[in-house]
A and B are shown apart, each in its own frame.
Chain A
Amino acid sequence: MIITTRLSLLALLVLLPLASGCGPTPPASFRLNMVEAISPSAEKDSISAEQALTPAQEKQVATILAAMFGTPDTPTCLPETGLDPAKLVLAAGPVRSDIVGRKNGLYREHCVHCHGITGDGMGPTAAFLNPYPRDYRPGVFKFKSTERASKPTHADLYRVLHEGLAGSSMPSFALLSPVQIDALVEYVKYLSMRGETELALMRYYFELDEEDEGKLPETREFLVEEILEPIAEKWASAEDQEIEVPEMPEDLDLAASIAKGRELFHGDKANCVKCHGVTALGDGQANDYDDWSKNIYKIEEKLKTLADSEPDSEERQWIAEFERVLAGDALTPRTIPPRNLRQGIYRGGRRPLDLYYRIHAGINGAPMPAAKGTVAPEDIWHIVNYIRSLPYDFDGELGADRAVAAQPGPAGRLVATQED
């Protein structure tokens, strides 16, 4: 028995390189969103075995998606998406060149290692990065000039690609040509719309009537008008959702503005202090998650509560299946620390305008709430000025809060240590 197992293992080892080395590479394919397929509810606290999509339903979603969006090698887009197919061709497919000096397959050359072929943020390197690469499928983006729930504009995504995201693993792609960056931005939107359509389809199973017999209608009215168009419309209207930013007053007394900003930061209205901490070191709130990780965290917590379910029950099988899915199709949830404002590193850009956007709209997908409507625009500018002063402020809260005691160090020298 042992011998045969070993033999077959040996055979496998010999055959593996052959299998991967010879013959044509199989065409790339999109992966189904398995976490959502097994728990399609938008809220993960009350997920249960009976929610899970059946294999037939999973197949239906995959078939609809293939019909609407094509494959990673040959993406297609309905006119309703508003996407430019020529740009998608440049970005999609294997890396190749058809015209001298023009390269296609930019996404696979530059992005796929981290963001994955499906845009699920689960490329081969993803698990080693902190923060994790963005999963485009929910269509939620953090760093943008638009209102909280709105999509980013084309220019917002262009900026992220061009500048990179400071303090994260997202590099700058400033060496690519504007045409190439444009094509990649279009492809990111394409992957997002595809992922959002997939989510919408999976969530729709909750709303089916008995007469539908567990199948989504495959009519144009349903697929295009009810599912795709609302998604595409949000992308198309992003430019109209840009945050109106009043000019910072020209005759502003900077010292007074910083003082006002400091007051607001610690005050009960803007309440920045609760998460970013008295010291602004980002140590006020240590156990919150972003929306991507929160989903997985909630699922894990739910599965724990079901640990005592009957062996061989439907629930038990669902849990086992879910554990397999989590191991292969999800990244370990991580808490999201509030930004340490003493470092002067801001993911979404360090311009005063960028900080204004972040405070006004909060950060979509992250715990950071919107100050809009609660904090007046001129007060947001004061907070911006205060925040920008923090990396250069060595007294203030940092000095006051962190009691530093002088202690003798090696060779009798005095070193400062922090008292906890």
Chain B
Amino acid sequence: MPAFPRSLILALPAVMVWSAASAADWGTLKGRFVVNGDVSDPAALTIDKDVEVCGKHKLVNEEVVVAEDKGVANVVVFVRDKKVTVKPELEAAAKEAKPVLDNLNCRFEPHVLFVQAGQELVIKNSDPVGHNSNIATVKNPPSNNLIPAGGEVTATFGSDEAVPAQVTCNIHPWMKGWIVVRDNPYAAVSGPDGSFEIADLPAEKLELQFWHEKAGYIGEMTIDGKKETAKRGRMKLEIEPGENDLGEIVLDAGLFK
């Protein structure tokens, strides 16, 4: 397929172009979010419930997590296009996968979790104390279940969510996490070093959306030294077959105040 001259692809009937793209051309998108200024150190949380268990973890506010080298964790990147072509292998893998949200050390692990609509989400509690997970979904029915120590409950979202849904624990008011629910598997959450990767994207023009819990939809970023505006955090990108590395994506510290 890569040997195909581009002009020839354009000359082919539309159906053939579509089947060609869905058959072979897939690209990986990656990048690393960094902040270009000082972000204040995360504040220690006040632990006033189950102090003997939760108090020993030195919990801090996780709204903004920035690494030593300025990498920004927990930035969400996803493909907006509702009718995006999904690689069949990914479709199959998504059905098998069971994303897990754990109540661990009196915080949510992971802090931001991606779940594809239709997947079975396991919400478990690895702590020796009871928790409840209050999930504020909008299109899906919201839920708030008790989860005893060592227990677990499951949840399945039938529809995507326009904005990530907050998860809280009413017993331990400092606990806050997020669930990103999308219709397709093309989403990623940046890791502790700020890097993210979305594999097996169809090689075509896609609309991406960038979100962070403090910044909301990220409207401005500098990619490759060039200032890009992303209205409502949206940006159209031509995905090429193979690797698409955005390099360092610089975010202004003002976004995280």
Contacts and interface: CB of A to CB of B under 8 A. Distances in A.
Interface of A: 41-43, 45-48, 50-51, 148-150, 203-204, 206-207, 210, 268-271, 274-275, 285, 287-288, 291, 305-306, 362, 364, 367-375
Interface string B206-236: 0000011111110100000000000110100
A306 B214 CA distance: 12
Contacts of B99: none
B145 A41 contact: no
Given A43-B165, A274-B50, A362-B144, 13 more contacts: A41-B163, A43-B164, A46-B211, A46-B214, A148-B141, A150-B141, A269-B151, A271-B130, A274-B49, A274-B130, A368-B170, A370-B144, A374-B147
B235 to A, nearest CB: 11
Interface string B114-140: 000000000000000110101010100
A131 to B, nearest CB: 17
Contacts of B136: 42-43, 291
B162 A203 contact: yes
B224 to A, nearest CB: 23
Contacts of B216: 41, 46-48, 51
B110 interface: no
A367 B130 CA distance: 15
25 contacts: A41-B216, A42-B165, A43-B165, A46-B215, A46-B216, A48-B216, A51-B216, A148-B143, A149-B142, A206-B163, A210-B234, A269-B146, A270-B146, A271-B132, A274-B50, A275-B171, A285-B49, A288-B173, A291-B136, A305-B257, A367-B134, A367-B170, A369-B134, A374-B151, A374-B153
A41 to B, nearest CB: 5
B191 interface: no
B130 A149 contact: no
B170 A374 contact: no
Contacts of B105: none
Interface of B: 49-50, 63, 129-130, 132, 134, 136, 138, 141-149, 151, 153, 162-166, 170-171, 173, 211-217, 219, 231-232, 234, 257
Contacts of A285: 49, 170-171, 173
A105 to B, nearest CB: 34
A373 B215 contact: no
A42 B149 CA distance: 30
B146 A50 contact: no
A204 B216 CA distance: 16
A369 B170 contact: yes
Contacts of A150: 141
Interface residues of B: mostly helix, strand, loop or mixed? loop
Contacts of A42: 136, 138, 162-163, 165
A373 B145 CA distance: 8
B162 A370 contact: no
Nearest to B153: A373
Q: Which 3 A-B pairs have the closest CB atoms?
A: A46-B216, A149-B141, A369-B132
B164 A275 contact: no
A100 B45 CA distance: 66
A45 B146 contact: no
Nearest to B218: A46
Contacts of B49: 274, 285
B146 A375 contact: yes
Most buried by A among B50, B63, B143: B143
A50 B219 contact: yes
A374 B163 contact: no
Nearest to A287: B173
A47 B215 CA distance: 9
Given A50-B219, A148-B143, A369-B170, A268 B149 contact: yes
Contacts of B217: 46
A173 B143 CA distance: 32
Contacts of B130: 268-269, 271, 274
B255 to A, nearest CB: 10
Given A46-B215, A206-B162, A369 B144 contact: yes
B232 A271 contact: no
A39 to B, nearest CB: 10
Contacts of A148: 141-144
Contacts of B144: 148, 362, 367-370
B129 A275 contact: no
A48 to B, nearest CB: 5
B145 A275 contact: no
Contacts of A46: 211-217
A362 B138 CA distance: 18
B148 A374 contact: yes
A51 B233 CA distance: 11
Contacts of A203: 138, 162
